[in-house]
């Protein structure tokens, strides 16, 4: 057995310095021992469960690429919110799919928009359920981009006014947290100011700060009917190759007033979560996105992996890398497993 020398400050220094073998397996001898020294835990109050809400009544349409996830009308959504609450989950994030899409994202900011109605309904029936409103325009735009379009260009500053208007109307409907996912420059500052001016200074902002132009969003775009009708999102979402740039984005959002910063997707970006942990003491959210979910579900359905173990390992990895909160489609399954 090798005797290794471990730097002074490390925990095993006593054994190593006495020339005794280092036996890391002592602390793995049995489950009680392993639980005692376990460093990372999944807590249900840290998991955020997503909903895709549509107009109508009695609608519950399965998303084929996301088993267990549905587009649903508000009446159906309320039943699932109740189920989630009974399972011990305490927060949801809402994505709206309007009946009509246009070039100014009207459905995103009108008082009777789908997110506004869904938020009001949840807050009325389940006042303790924390409601996070995804603030973006792509689901409401006929071209599927996250901002105002001129020709082939996605315009930054004209999009900010609409985002701010959307955030204020979501707050007015009772949202606890506004979550801008558009990646326009300067939107956190503009939204913060608009919320404060409208008297919503207690409404928090969870900024999708480091949001990468990821192929892992594929199934979500089916669920939210939000795929861009031309081009892609690379002029606003980040290049997956850029870690340092992600830290710039996060620093800017903090400066502009974000209360929580987010890294998205999660599993291919654990290094960014870890570096963000060193950058700020604010809470960090990670989005365990649709494609990450679909891969686990597909492999599990084929009997290739153990769904429960793989899912818990994925979420543990995200938490261990430094995420405080995790948005995940697995939340209800996890709640059932941990019960």
Task: Output the smallest distance, CB 5 to ligand PBG, in A.
Answer: 46
Q: Does 289 bind ligand PBG (CB under 6 A)?
A: yes
Chain mean position to CA 189: 20
State yes or no: is 211 an active-site residue.
yes
Q: Which two tokens stand for residue 200?
A: 């919503």
- CA dist 26 → 23, 33, 41 (Å): 6, 9, 21
Confirm if 136 and 160 have CB atoms less than 8 A apart: no
The catalytic residue among 46, 101, 211, 332 is 211
**Burial state string for 154-175 with b = 16 or more CB within 10 A and e = fewer than 16:** bebeebbebbbbbbbbbbbbbb
Q: Which of residues 167-226 bind ligand PBG (CB under 6 A)?
A: 181, 217, 220-221, 226
By CB under 6 A, tell whether 162 contacts ligand PBG: no
**Does residue 262 bind ligand PBG (CB under 6 A)?**
no
CB of 131 to ligand PBG, least distance (A): 16
Decide: helix, strand or coil at residue 102: strand
Among the listed residues 46, 264, 297, 332, the single catalytic one is: 264
Tokens standing for 176?
A: 């606890």
Q: Judged by CB under 6 A, which of 121, 146, 154, 188 binds ligand PBG?
A: 146
Question: Which is nearer to ligand PBG, 42 or 141 (by Cβ)?
Answer: 141
Q: Is 264 a catalytic residue?
A: yes
C-alpha 27/C-alpha 213 separation (Å) is 42
Which C-beta is closer to ligand PBG: that of 233 or that of 297?
Answer: 233
User: Distance between the two ends of the chain, CA-based, in angstroms?
Assistant: 42
Piece in contact with ligand PBG (CB under 6 A), picked from 16-24, 99-107, 134-142, 308-316: 134-142
Bridge-based pairing state of the strands 130-135 and 70-73: unpaired
Shortest spacing between CB 146 and ligand PBG, in angstroms: 5
Question: Is 146 or 191 the residue whose CB approaches ligand PBG more closely?
Answer: 146
Q: Which SS3 state, helix, strand or coil, does residue 182 take?
A: coil
Residue whose CB is less far from ligand PBG, 49 or 217:
217
| Cα 10 to Cα 17: distance, rounded to the nearest angstrom | 11
138 in contact with ligand PBG (CB under 6 A)? yes
Residue with smaller CB distance to ligand PBG, 180 or 189: 180
Please, what is the minimum distance in Å from the beta carbon of residue 10 to ligand PBG?
39
Helices (H), 225-329: 243-256, 270-279, 290-301, 307-320
290 binds ligand PBG (CB under 6 A): yes
Give the 3-state secondary structure of 134-172.
EECCHHHECCCCCCEEECCEEECHHHHHHHHHHHHHHHH
Q: How far is the CB of 77 from ligand PBG (least distance, A)?
A: 17
Give the active site residues: 211, 264
Residues that bind ligand PBG (CB under 6 A): 134, 136, 138, 146, 181, 217, 220-221, 226, 233, 289-290
């Amino acid at each position: 057995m090798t005797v290794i020398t471990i730097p002074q400050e490390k925990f095993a220094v006593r054994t190593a310095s006495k020339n005794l073998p280092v036996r890391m397996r002592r602390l793995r001898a049995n489950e009680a021992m392993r639980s005692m020294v376990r460093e990372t835990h999944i807590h249900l109050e840290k998991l955020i469960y997503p909903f895709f809400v549509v107009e109508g009544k009695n609608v519950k349409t399965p998303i084929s690429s996301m088993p267990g996830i549905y587009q649903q009308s508000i009446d159906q959504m309320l039943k699932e919110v109740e189920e989630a609450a009974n399972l011990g989950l305490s927060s949801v994030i809402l994505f709206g799919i309007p009946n009509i899409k246009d070039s100014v994202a009207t459905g995103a900011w009108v008082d009777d928009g789908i997110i506004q109605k869904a938020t009001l309904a949840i807050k009325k029936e389940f006042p303790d359920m924390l409601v996070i409103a995804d603030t973006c325009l792509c689901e409401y735009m006929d071209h599927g981009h996250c901002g105002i379009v001129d020709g082939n260009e996605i315009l930054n500053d004209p999009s900010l006014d609409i985002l701010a208007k959307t955030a204020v109307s979501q707050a007015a409907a009772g949202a606890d947290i506004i979550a801008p996912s558009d990646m326009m420059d300067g939107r956190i500052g503009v939204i913060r100011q608009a919320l404060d001016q409208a008297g919503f200074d207690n409404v928090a902002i969870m900024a999708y700060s480091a949001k990468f132009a990821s192929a892992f969003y594929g199934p979500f775009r089916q669920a939210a009917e939000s795929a861009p009708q031309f081009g892609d999102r690379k002029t606003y979402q980040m290049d997956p190759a850029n870690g340092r740039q992600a830290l710039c984005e996060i620093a800017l959002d903090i400066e502009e007033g974000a209360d929580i910063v987010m890294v998205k997707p999660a599993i291919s970006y654990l290094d960014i979560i870890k570096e963000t942990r060193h950058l700020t003491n604010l809470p960090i959210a990670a989005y365990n996105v649709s494609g990450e979910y679909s891969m686990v579900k597909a492999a599990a359905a084929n009997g290739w992996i153990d769904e429960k173990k793989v899912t818990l390992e994925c979420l543990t990895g995200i938490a261990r890398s430094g995420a405080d909160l995790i948005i995940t489609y697995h939340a209800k399954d996890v709640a059932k497993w941990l019960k």
